[in-house]
Copies of this chain bind each other. A is one copy, B any other.
Amino acid sequence: MAVTSITSRPDSRQLDERELRAWRGMLRAHAALTKALDADLDGAHGLPLSSYEVLMYLNGAEGRRMRMRDLAASVILSRSGLTRLADRLEREGLIRRESCPSDARGAYAVLTPAGAEKLAVARATHLAGVRSLFLQHFSEDELDTLAEAWERVVPGAASAPGLACG
């Protein structure tokens, strides 16, 4: 009588409407959100979302500095991608690089005072955007449910390091 359960859903057929709504909905929502947030941030402060995230992670880190590899993982970028992003931010004076005393291969990205200042100004914009476009649509319980859902899909997704830094 076969109300389809998780385990008995056929695997070879097309996605049904329910599945499509959940799946494509996420793709579309993500695209719309990131595009809008990036436009806000870049428009208001000339700071693309990816740059903002670097500053944000650095600001939340011990000594306002992070190893490049960790930073790359945090902002979801390849190491080379982060190298180039860091180049740009360094050129703008928002971060600087420092060599790592305990590992001569390594480098820290360090938030400069100018970078911290920029972040402080941009944060209001970004947080307002995240709230008005995303968070406000959900109750606290629903946010927990969502977080739990992400955790199921990608273990560690919700419980990432660098929390509580905006």
Binding site for B on A (CB under 8 A): 1-6, 9-36, 39-40, 43-44, 76, 123-125, 127-140, 142-147, 149-154, 156-160, 163-166
Cα-based distance from A30 to B26 in the complex (angstroms): 8
A-B CB contact pairs (8 Å), 14 listed: A1-B36, A1-B39, A6-B138, A9-B128, A11-B127, A11-B131, A18-B140, A21-B159, A22-B147, A25-B151, A28-B158, A33-B154, A133-B153, A134-B153
Closest to A8 in B: B128
B28 touches A157 (CB 8 A): yes
Contact A6 B147 (CB under 8 A): no
Task: Select A147's contact among B5, B21, B43, B165, beta carbons within 8 Å.
Answer: B21
Q: How far is the CB of A53 from chain B (nearest CB, A)?
A: 9
How far apart are the CA atoms of A152 and B33 in the complex, in Å?
12
How far, in Å, is A20 (CB) from chain B's closest CB? 5
The 8 closest A-B pairs by CB, nearest first: A25-B150, A21-B147, A25-B158, A21-B158, A28-B157, A12-B124, A22-B143, A6-B128
